[in-house]
Chains A and B, each alone.
Chain A
């Protein structure tokens, strides 16, 4: 069964204190791994798509990496505005296109000044 597990469930950081969020996955053929940011009461906002092990992508203070079993979202020198829930999702290869995403429960990040 395809599964996504994110850790930690919650993370509190001081402004400027770098850290990493983990996403472990089990999927029968990875088509893509996605990171989203979700603010309270809002829909997820797309951050990154990773396709294969060894791939890395960066955007401002965020960097996502991918291995065959997990992905990390590294946050460098976070600011209070980075506070949000970060969601990881995977898409598996199936027999049809346009397949849905399987989401983890997310990591809720709080950054204090």
Chain B
């Protein structure tokens, strides 16, 4: 399967600041990456679909101006949480798809964001 990395693994920031999270596909080129958010004891919830070279597609209820996604290359997508607040504290995970058809997704190790 695909190898996906995320950076940083943990970040603590003050309320009102912005945080950038990187997602890298290490061993193949990913035209599509996904960003998920997971709250404690909850399921993974899709935030947005990141397409290389075009605008991301956001799920209903996710503010595109707050969660900025850039997929500038086939191996890198970034998620920037702007003006973060304590309620944005969560576990953010990216994934990449391999091939066509039923798309098996391979996930990164996740980024734990804590907003004070």
Contact = CB atoms under 8 A, between A and B. Distances in A.
Kindly state the interface size class of chain B when it binds its partner: 20 to 34
A97 B102 contact: no
Contact of A45 (B49, B59, B103, B107): B107
A87 B43 contact: yes
Interface string B30-56: 011010000001111110010100000
B93 A43 contact: yes
A74 interface: no
A66 B51 CA distance: 31
Contacts, number: 65
Nearest to A48: B104
A106 B40 CA distance: 12
Nearest to A104: B43
A69 to B, nearest CB: 18
Contacts of B102: 31-32, 49, 51, 91
A51 B86 CA distance: 40
Interface residues of A, number: 26
Contacts of B42: 105
B41 A105 contact: yes
B97 to A, nearest CB: 6
Contacts of B108: 43
A94 to B, nearest CB: 11
B44 A87 contact: yes
Given A98-B103, A101-B46, 4 more contacts: A43-B93, A91-B102, A97-B103, A101-B44
Interface of A: 4, 31-32, 34, 36, 41-46, 49, 51, 87, 89, 91, 97-106
14 contacts: A32-B101, A34-B105, A41-B112, A43-B4, A43-B108, A43-B110, A44-B93, A87-B43, A87-B44, A98-B31, A98-B97, A98-B103, A100-B49, A103-B43
3 interchain residue pairs of minimum CB distance = A32-B102, A43-B107, A103-B43
